[in-house]
Amino acid sequence: MAGNMIVGQQPDAVEVGARIYMAGGNAVDAAIATGFAQGVLDQMMCGIGGYGVMQVYAPARGAHESITFLAQAPGAVREGMWEDLLEYETRDGFGFVLKGKINEVGHKSVAVPGSVRGFHYAHQKFGRLPWKDVLAPAIRMATDGYRVQNFEFTYRMADDSLGRMPTNEKLRFTPDCARLFYEADGAQRRPGSLVKNPDLAKTLAEIAANGPDAFYKGRIAEAISADFRKNDGFLGAADLANYRIEVEQPVWGEYRGHRIAVTPPPNSGAIVLRMLHTLEQFDLKALGHNSPDYIRVLAEAMKRAQALKDEVITDPRLAPTRLDDIIGRTAAKADADAIKRGDRAHVQRAVAKEAADTTHLTALDRDGMAVALTHTNGMQSGVVTPGLGFMYNGQLGSYDPRPGRTQSLAPHKRRVSSMTPTIVFRGDKPHLILGAPGGSNIPMAIAQVIVNVIDHGMSVVEAVSAQRVSATSDVIDVGARIPTYTCEALAQMGYKTARSSQSFTVARVHAIMIDGDKVTGGADPAGGGMALVV
């Protein structure tokens, strides 16, 4: 390769990855350092209180792994314990609104974090630089301070249109959380404001010195469990000490002669493959990019994939998923035939009424090592333990409070994740490395960017910038760059659309394209990120 590349949403974090390359690090070193930095800069999206999944392709070592470090429910939860509090399910199927918002904010919303274990495993297996050097930039950032970014501020100020608690209310839940987002007089920290977080710097320094056991078994774990006991939360010392990641082989599919590697369940890579295997049976280019007929075909493939995700995929440790039922060619052909007949799929929701968010980075080094890393807090819990400096995930808000379902709340269970870091191979070499934040819209966005490149011949920048659509329910979500006359044509076909006022919608894809010796990167314009090559 001509150079090393890193692509991500937060420019200052992307620069951390570039500097790691300059210091002699490889793609995993750069990805992990960037991930830790993202957790300092953007605690609403991710951090050491969160979780994620990554795909690492290391041809020089003959390795290709999916590393899953999802959050899991603490052992103290009970299936059905919140069933009588259910008000409705959010439209995208990612969350459930309960009376009193008990699952959305506070200590009862927190699941067991996985990011520190996942990052450490990947670094120890594939990294080149010392562990402490990989954490050093994030520690300096927390100590010296970082500037509030415009996207982070805008996200914080937005209301959740699906009825969840507004983000700003969550961020005031604990004093230590509020100090990260508000001035001493209670005013919002605005873009450009300098924020220092010495508590997080100290926490990261302990992890740098002592590895993940500092977080899961040491002083940090003791502080976490004491805080949750005091505040009647579910997370306990045993949950942290017993947490384990999953290391597996990727799941493979094909699209128009390209091989597609995705991460296995309970991640949503199989859903991407189902959509691609269905869409392969249509001449998408002839339909015209984002024409009414094109959007109809996309939406019907998406709805069928979403319904499968809701009904079939669960934690494989508890109930194995039959992958062929999802990605098999026979099932995909049946979907395509139904779409060609004009059949409309239905996505079932509990009452009808994703504001959750995440972050992603993509890295490639000159030796051909490729990393696609997506990590998240799921939703914001608003909880920061005094003295530790990081916010926990709010993942319990995404579990189904009704018992006996694939996503039901249960002890030690991992809920299905929409995250799907993906690598597209042309022949035996990577052609496209990509992933995205964006809740249930992630698989829909990944599939469209792949189609944009392969079917429409777009560059990587064009592919991530083109207007996308999403159908995670019976409503088709579109952005402001989809004309109203297109929505009117869809209405005449019997489809309801929800047109956003924003120009860039449906997740935020960050991708790297390799074409021979040429390497280009595309950062989704919606997130204000960037691509750097060094």
**Main-chain phi, psi angles of 38, to 5 degrees:** -60, -35
Q: What is the CATH number of domain 1-265+357-534?
A: 3.60.20.40
Give the residue extent of every domain in the chain: 1-265+357-534
Instruction: Give the β-pairing of 422-426 and 258-262.
Output: antiparallel
Q: Whole-model pTM above 0.85?
A: yes
DSSP-derived letter for residue 47 is S
Which residue bears the tokens 């390497």? 519
For the record, the structure tokens of 420 come out as: 């799907």
Q: Which amino acid is at 212?
A: P
321 given a catalytic annotation: no
Judged by DSSP in three states, 495 sits in coil
Distances (CA, A) of 296 to 95, 300, 399, 414, 454: 26, 6, 30, 33, 20
Catalytic choice (34, 90, 358, 385): 358
Which is nearest to 316 in space by CA: 395, 420, 209, 416?
416
Evaluated on CA atoms 323, 307, 403, 416, the torsion sign reads positive
Three-state secondary-structure class, residue 168: helix
Per-residue pLDDT of the chain (534 residues; tens, 9 = 90+): 678 999 999 999 999 999 999 999 999 999 999 999 999 999 999 999 999 999 999 999 999 999 999 999 999 999 999 999 998 887 665 678 899 899 999 999 999 999 999 999 999 999 999 999 999 999 999 999 999 987 777 777 765 555 678 888 899 999 999 999 999 898 889 989 999 999 999 999 999 999 999 999 999 999 999 999 999 999 999 999 999 999 999 999 999 999 999 999 999 999 999 999 999 999 999 999 999 999 999 999 999 999 999 889 999 998 888 899 899 999 999 999 999 999 999 987 654 433 445 789 999 999 999 999 999 998 899 999 999 999 999 999 999 999 999 899 999 999 999 999 999 999 999 999 999 998 889 999 999 999 999 999 999 999 999 999 999 999 999 999 999 999 999 999 999 999 998 899 999 999 999 999 899 999 999 888 999 999
Half-sphere exposure of 52 (CA within 13 A, CB side): 37
Asked whether 261 and 251 are in contact (CB, 8 A), the reply is: yes
Closest CA to 459 of 436, 432, 480: 432
Task: Please answer whether residues 418 and 472 qualify as being in contact, where contact means their C-beta atoms are separated by less than 8 angstroms.
Answer: no
| E-state strands within 197-238 | none
From the number of C-beta atoms within 10 Å of its C-beta (0-12, 13-18, 19+), residue 364 rates as buried
